[in-house]
Amino acid sequence: MIRIGFAYNQKPEESALIGTEAARAEKLTDGELSRPDEEPPSRDEFAEWDSKATIDAVAGALSGLGEVIRLEADEDFPERLRDIRPDIVFNIAEGRHGVNREAHVPAICEFYGIPYSGSDPLTLSLCLDKARTKETLAWHGIPTARFTVVREVSDIARALKALSLPLFVKPIHEGSSKGITERNFCRTRAELEARTASLLAAYNQPVIVEEYLPGAEFTCAVLGNGKTAEVLPIVGMNFASLPEGALPIYGYEAKWIWDRPENPLQMFDCPAHIDASLARAIERVTLDAYRVLGCRDWSRIDVRLNAAGEPNVVEVNPLPGILPDPADNSCFPKAARAAGMSYDELIQSCLRLAAARQRVPLSRQLRKARTAPKTATRPRSARLRELDGPAAKDSVSNRLSA
């Protein structure tokens, strides 16, 4: 039986849900919008890590393909990986420290010559740097908003000469909406100076300043490698579901204050309600970005339209969020469900892609059980059916490009 090392970072119990901290923030009262007065609690260093529920769900899905060995990506990870030497590592670890934290687990796997799922260290480090990502996209002619990097408040004058208001600002090395609130939308120089100074002080890292894209926003889940990669049903952001007066931004307020279990926002439409021409344009720019940045097996790519209605890449996440509960607004599993895939099938498909890419044989017996006839399943694309079907048993590694 194949031995699957499962690499992850688990949130400490006291920080298991950022929402427990967010609950201390102000709530909607008398129809007025609530916004945090200080930097939101998503500064928590564990914000990007996974909850026990997600880790258990992924482990359960992987167990359908082999023996799962949990390898928490802590200080002991290198020694445990070296001693256990699994056949392949399924990696969702976001890392602990530094601007290259997402690359640590893959780099250690490469050091020991152990195959692993997902993108390589270069791609993971590149995509965690918002400016380097956009530089790469722009060099290859892939549309992305014009931007500059501010390292100290005195750089703002240069930014205003290069860019046109309104502007949007973000910490350059953060994810999970850390540091992103409605105050990041800057209409004036005064707003830009105040918000940039706040982010520089709070996160101790440069701030990316980019021209605001006023159009609709989408997020695209991608599965596959090379020419066989494909976009699952596109997820559209339903900004109309936000409270009256809210800006069309999916940031901290939308995720943790206004979207409450007792009053959930209907934030996403999947498939997105768009015409076929726009869908093709979004898919094209998404796959271009995926391939140019060297993404492998899976990634989630955020796209927003400019004033002319043209898709621009906003961010690329090679370690996509994969919350298992359909009640949660987790876009990659949502797109997979719209494609007719269960949560287990999504996780297993990613591992299959990684195994085929590296010619790691999976158990024939397990794969035969995996492809047994089912009932009441929704149709999937031909590519995904091919990946999971009987033909995958002996030749999938020859059909999927690296």
What would the mean pLDDT of 90-118 be, rounded to a whole number? 94
Domain contains 26:
yes
- The residues, any chain, with a CB within 8 Å of residue 298's CB and separated by 6 or more, are 118, 221, 222, 223, 318, 320, 332, 350, 353
Return the percentage of the chain with pLDDT > 90, whole number: 66
Contact predicate 98/76, CB 8 Å: no
What would the mean pLDDT of 192-209 be, rounded to a whole number? 94
Q: Which domain holds residue 344?
A: 217-399
Q: Residue type at 243?
A: P
CATH number of residue 351's parent domain: 3.30.470.20
The overall average pLDDT reported for the chain is 85
Record the tokens describing residue 280, joined without a space: 């093709």
Can you tell me the distance from the alpha carbon of 319 to that of 300, in angstroms, rounded to the nearest whole number? 8
What pLDDT shows up at residue 94? 86
Total domains in the chain come to 3
Query: Residue 258 class from Cβ within 10 Å (0-12 exposed, 13-18 middle, 19+ buried)?
Result: buried
What pLDDT shows up at residue 277? 98
If asked whether residues 342 and 204 sit together in one domain, one would say no
Higher-pLDDT residue of 246, 125: 125
If asked whether residues 157 and 281 sit together in one domain, one would say no
Can you tell me the distance from the alpha carbon of 333 to that of 315, in angstroms, rounded to the nearest whole number? 18
**pLDDT per residue as tens digits for the range 131-145:** 999 999 999 999 999
**pLDDT per residue as tens digits for the range 113-123:** 999 999 999 99
Which of 211, 231, 246 is a domain's end point?
211
If asked whether residues 114 and 136 sit together in one domain, one would say no
What pLDDT shows up at residue 209? 97
If asked whether residues 58 and 98 sit together in one domain, one would say yes
Which of 183, 211, 239 is a domain's end point?
211
Can you tell me the distance from the alpha carbon of 210 to that of 322, in angstroms, rounded to the nearest whole number? 28
